[in-house]
Amino acid sequence: MPLHPIPTQPRPRRVRALARALLLACPMLLGPALLGAGLSGGGPGATAGATDLIWCPPAVHGGPVASDLAMQAALIDRGRVVVRCDSLVGFDLGGYESVWVFLGVFPHNHPLTFAEGVELRDYLLGGGRLYIEGGDIWGYDILTPLNAIDGIAASADGGSDLAQVVGVDASPGPDLSDLASDYSGENFHLDHLHGDLPGATTLFTSGPGGYGVGVLHRGGDSGLADFRAIGASFEFGGWTEDPDLLLEVLLIALDLIPDCRGLVPLSPACSLRPQGVEVSWALPALYEELEVLRDGESIAILSPTVTSHLDIAPPAGVRSYTVVARDAIGCEAPSEPAEIEVPVGLLLRRGDVDASGGIDIVDAVELLRGLFVPGTVLACSDAGDFNDSGHLEITDAISLLSHLFAAGPAPAPPVGDCGVDQSEDSLPPCDLECTP
Question: Domain containing 93 — which CATH number?
Answer: 3.40.50.880
- Do 79 and 167 lie in one domain? The reply is yes
Instruction: Examine residue 179 and state whether it is found in any structural domain, yes or no.
Output: yes
Instruction: Examine residue 261 and state whether it is found in any structural domain, yes or no.
Output: no
Q: Please identify, among 218, 253, 288, the residue that sits at the C-terminal boundary of a domain.
A: 253
- Do 244 and 386 lie in one domain? The reply is no
Q: Please identify, among 342, 375, 394, the residue that sits at the C-terminal boundary of a domain.
A: 342
| Contact (CB, 8 A) for 163 and 183 | yes
Exposure letters 112-129 (e unless 16+ CB within 10 A, then b): bebbbbbbbbbbbbeebb
- Do 31 and 144 lie in one domain? The reply is yes
- Do 108 and 249 lie in one domain? The reply is yes
**pLDDT tens digit at each of 436 positions of the chain:** 334 444 444 555 444 444 445 444 554 444 433 332 222 333 455 677 899 999 999 989 877 999 999 999 999 999 999 999 988 888 889 999 999 999 999 999 999 999 999 999 999 999 999 999 999 999 999 999 999 999 999 999 998 999 999 999 999 999 999 999 999 999 999 999 999 999 999 999 999 999 999 999 999 999 999 999 999 999 999 999 999 999 999 999 999 999 998 899 999 999 988 778 999 999 998 999 999 999 999 999 999 999 999 998 888 889 999 999 999 988 999 999 999 998 876 778 899 998 888 899 999 999 999 899 998 988 888 889 999 998 999 999 999 999 999 999 999 888 888 877 777 788 887 877 777 6
Alpha-carbon span 319 to 344, nearest angstrom: 13
Instruction: Examine residue 9 and state whether it is found in any structural domain, yes or no.
Output: no
Residue 297 — φ and ψ, nearest 5°?
A: -110, 135
- CATH code where residue 318 lies: 2.60.40.10
- Do 37 and 49 lie in one domain? The reply is yes
- Do 119 and 229 lie in one domain? The reply is yes
Helices (H) and strands (E) in the chain, counts: 9, 21
Alpha-carbon span 108 to 62, nearest angstrom: 7
Instruction: Examine residue 60 and state whether it is found in any structural domain, yes or no.
Output: yes
Amino acid at 289: E
- Do 320 and 372 lie in one domain? The reply is no
Alpha-carbon span 110 to 226, nearest angstrom: 28
- Do 193 and 103 lie in one domain? The reply is yes
Instruction: Examine residue 6 and state whether it is found in any structural domain, yes or no.
Output: no
- Do 89 and 221 lie in one domain? The reply is yes
- Do 114 and 221 lie in one domain? The reply is yes
- Do 385 and 277 lie in one domain? The reply is no
| Enclosing domain of residue 353 | 344-436
Instruction: Look at the chain and report how many structural domains it folds into.
Output: 3
- Do 131 and 216 lie in one domain? The reply is yes
